[in-house]
Amino acid sequence: MAGVSSLKYRYGYRRKRNRSRKWLWLIALAAIVPAIFIGYNLTPSSPGGGDIFDASVSCVVRNDCADVAVQAQPTPTPIPAYARIYEPDSPIVPLVVAPPITAEAAFVIEEPCGAVLFELDPHRRYATASLAKIVTAIVAVEHGQLSSPVAITIDGAELSLATDSSVMGLVPGQTLILEELLYGLLVPSGNDAARAIAEHIAGDVGSFVSLMNEKIAKLQLKDTHFSNPDGLDVAGQYTSAFDIMILARYLLQDPLLAEIVSTQNYQPLWDGPRLWSTNPLLYAYDGAIGVKTGRTDLAKESLVGAAEQGGRRLVASVLRSDDMYADVSSLLDWAFASVPAVCPAEAITPAG
């Protein structure tokens, strides 16, 4: 009987409903439907879809549809790549996202206008490794005579054993001209050549390092300082992805240095072996024109690489990388293929 009683209650409840409520609901629907229709047609179209439409419907009564539409748009994913001409207040143009790299810092520019295509922690200071030789070469060209003879006192074999570093193979008693030492400095990344050049130009290594730092000051680079001309790990020697990019760009403006850093191998006028470049880009990357590698325990792998394709020249730097070739080649591939040319169209004079 309890079930029957419950059934009667439900039946009786339905019978006693106030029928006037039907008309209230009909009136409410008559008011809401046109509002929904109007709100839909006033809502700006957006690839975001449903979120913006729903927000606009609910905002008709509040009369704040514009605000809601903006707030309803999805938050854009940060884009780490952009293009701007290298000027402090220049506009930023969003581009496609660059590929992941292992390097802790990186910088990519397009020549000849210096448009910045990518940067990653560009002003953080890291050990220079052999990227210091970029400035060693610049100072040597600006303070020395390319044809001047240099009496060799450095023993390359001993230096290599003592420092576990790359050398061109100098032997005391040799005489080479400065130009050949520059090949030995930049092609096989010879630390013996760096010291021979320093002593020849300035009389001793310390005085030559002062010239290097004077050059940095003139170029107004804030995140670079040198303690030796070869890049071996030592206190007080550092650079940044931005600074070393500017220095590499400066080097490429000198015809001889641009030719040297694009050279795969070179035979000096001596009885020693042929010199081979440490830059993997020159052997494997289409259009590569340089410029310099570096590798030490503190710096890990570092590389400034430049290449020309389709009338464009790009320069990329990576510091503290686990795979410098993969990182630079990935950044160059991405920029050539995915980033429209930013610099005004003009002929690029091939290096060398």
Phi, psi of 309 (to 5 degrees): -145, 140
Residue of higher predicted confidence among 19 and 77: 19
Task: For residue 43, name the pLDDT band (cuts at 50, 70, 90).
Answer: very low
Q: How far is CA 28 from CA 2, 89, 108, 179, 335, in A?
A: 39, 56, 62, 91, 59
Residue 37 has pLDDT above 50, yes or no: no
Range(s) for CATH 3.40.710.10 in the chain?
A: 93-338
Q: Please report, as a single letter, which amino acid is at residue 224.
A: T
Residue 165 has pLDDT above 50, yes or no: yes
Residue 173 has pLDDT above 60, yes or no: yes
Percentage of residues of the chain with pLDDT beyond 90: 66
Residue 294 has pLDDT above 90, yes or no: yes
Region of poorest pLDDT, from 30-39, 65-74, 83-92, 277-286: 65-74
Task: For residue 214, name the pLDDT band (cuts at 50, 70, 90).
Answer: very high
Segment 228-255 mean pLDDT: 96
Give the position of tokens 């209230």: 24
Contacts of 215 (CB under 8 A, 6+ apart): 135, 138, 139, 142
Integer Cα distance of 60 and 123 in angstroms: 50
Segment 232-244 mean pLDDT: 96
Question: pTM (2 decimals)?
Answer: 0.74
Residue 92: predicted pLDDT: 63
Segment 298-312 mean pLDDT: 97
Region of poorest pLDDT, from 13-17, 114-118, 253-257: 13-17
Q: Residue 125 has which token pair?
A: 């200071």
Cα end-to-end span (Å), the chain: 106
Segment 75-80 mean pLDDT: 38
Can you name the CATH fold of 93-338?
Answer: Beta-lactamase (3.40.710)
User: Nearest Cα to 184, choosing from 49, 276, 92?
Assistant: 276
Task: For residue 142, name the pLDDT band (cuts at 50, 70, 90).
Answer: very high
Segment 183-187 mean pLDDT: 98
Q: Taking all residues of the chain, what is their mean pLDDT, rounded to a whole number?
A: 80
pLDDT digit string, tens, across residues 193-202: 999 999 999 9
Residue of higher predicted confidence among 248 and 18: 248
Segment 227-256 mean pLDDT: 96
Residue 64 has pLDDT above 90, yes or no: no
Residue 340: predicted pLDDT: 86
Percentage of residues of the chain with pLDDT beyond 70: 70
Residue 315: predicted pLDDT: 97
Segment 116-145 mean pLDDT: 96
3-state SS assignment for residue 11: helix
Residue of higher predicted confidence among 152 and 19: 152
Residue 204 contacts residue 198 (beta carbons within 8 Å): yes
Q: What is the CA radius of gyration of the chain?
A: 33
Residue of higher predicted confidence among 203 and 97: 203
Task: For residue 35, name the pLDDT band (cuts at 50, 70, 90).
Answer: very low
Cα 175 → chain centroid: 41
Residue 97 has pLDDT above 50, yes or no: yes
Residue 53: predicted pLDDT: 27
Considering 1-15, 71-85, 90-104, the range whose residues carry the highest mean pLDDT is 90-104
Residue of higher predicted confidence among 74 and 147: 147
Residue 96 has pLDDT above 90, yes or no: no
